[in-house]
A and B are shown apart, each in its own frame.
Chain A
Amino acid sequence: MNKEEARLLLMDYIYGELDDAKKSELLSFVNQHDDLKQEFEELTETQSFLHHLPVQDPAEQLVIMEPRKSIGEGFWENILNALTPKNAFAQATFSVAVLAFVFIVTGAITGLNISYSDSGVQLGFGKVSEAEKSFSVTQVEQIVQQIQRDNVALVQQVVTDAQEQQNIQLEQTFASFASYLEGQRTNDLQLISSGLENLKENTFTRFRQNEQVLGEIIQTVSYGN
């Protein structure tokens, strides 16, 4: 026996689950080891404290089961439980399959007829009459006349729209040209005004130069005399 085994046997001993032979062996081993003896006393005391913990009983019976349902209901519930899958994906697949089954059975009973053509899907119950596929001469003439009337109206509308569009574009062109001419005239007047201003300035500059030269000549002549 080692100490670890002794500790496990100590649990059996404290709770009275150790036979006499093992008990003697354990007590003998414990008496030879002071640390185990100390543990034994401490654990026994600790265990004795635990007895004092109070507890509460429930005030009444917490669960009362009702009688089971009738045999028939139980039978169908069992079948449903057995058939119904447990995980979400399987349940979704099962639901789709059931819906498809119900749809097919209902269709078979009510004579559901589904057909598909270029003009679309056709649903009906029972025997569906075949749609008419040809027109009479009068109907054709009426259709042609209607198409012609529609064409004439359409062409008139197109021409009218084109003329209106043309007029609008022409007015916009004239307005642009007038605006261009006005701009040109303004530019020319500004150029002429600028030229006159330059001429005036040049003339004034020449006058001053002439006066300066004349002044120098007069001064030279006066000092010379």
Chain B
Amino acid sequence: MEDTRLVQDFLGGNHQAFNTLVGRWQNKIHHFAYRYFACSDDAAEITQKTFIKAYQKLDTLEDVNKFSSWLYRIANNLCLDELKRVGRKRASSYETLKVAPQTETASSADSEVLRNEGLVLLHKALLQLPNDQRVVVIMKEYEGLTFPEIAEILNEPINTVKSRMYYGLRALKKTFDSWNINKEVFNYE
């Protein structure tokens, strides 16, 4: 069943339709928030808040065909609110990103360590982007949204979104270079 139909069912009084929507979208919203904050607890909290707000405000959605954009907009606004609320505290919590524990055998240990360190640095690099660039990179790279969809969610012109994506990638490139992250870090067997 399509999202549009589920939204209409919910607005018609079928609350179970909303639970189906939650099941369908919670992973995506959770991924989005997780990449925003690099913290599972924060991602879960943002996801819950997003669906609670959606539940309360779904009757204000003007075009039911735009449910996904509307949901991402709620999640993005909640992420921005959270950043404003505990921005400084969160900045220090980024430092707690650690390399995952090693359980590999000796033969592949070196490449695995290298890869894990690379992933941590990758996440740190993403967190260092300005918020407006980071959200575009996350939506484009990980959520697979098109530029027109991102522009609609953020309520910005398409060229502005593309520009942020461009400068976001440039900034990431610069960071990767300064941290010596190259394709050899990830290309291992």
Contact = CB atoms under 8 A, between A and B. Distances in A.
Interface of A: 7-8, 10-12, 15, 17, 39, 42-43, 45-58, 61-68
Given A53-B35, A58-B43, 12 more contacts: A43-B170, A47-B141, A49-B181, A50-B122, A50-B137, A50-B141, A53-B122, A55-B142, A57-B30, A58-B30, A61-B26, A62-B30
B142 A62 contact: no
Interface of A is mostly: loop
Interface in B88-146: 115, 118-119, 122-123, 126, 137, 140-142, 146
Contacts of B162: 8, 11-12
Nearest to A46: B173
Contacts, number: 104
Contacts of B51: 62-63
Interface of B: 13, 15, 18-19, 22-23, 26-27, 30-31, 34-35, 40, 43-44, 47-48, 51-52, 55, 115, 118-119, 122-123, 126, 137, 140-142, 146-147, 159, 162-163, 165-166, 169-170, 172-173, 176, 181, 183, 186
Contacts of A53: 35, 119, 122-123, 126, 142
Contacts of A15: 140, 146-147
Nearest to A15: B140
Contact of B47 (A12, A58, A67): A58
Contacts of A50: 122, 126, 137, 141-142, 172
B188 to A, nearest CB: 11
B176 A46 contact: yes
Contact of A65 (B18, B26, B169): B18
A56 B166 CA distance: 27
A43 B119 CA distance: 18
B52 A63 contact: yes
B23 A61 contact: yes
Contact of B169 (A12, A47, A67): A47
Contacts of A62: 22, 26, 30, 44, 47-48, 51
A58 B39 CA distance: 12
A42 B175 CA distance: 12
A62 to B, nearest CB: 5
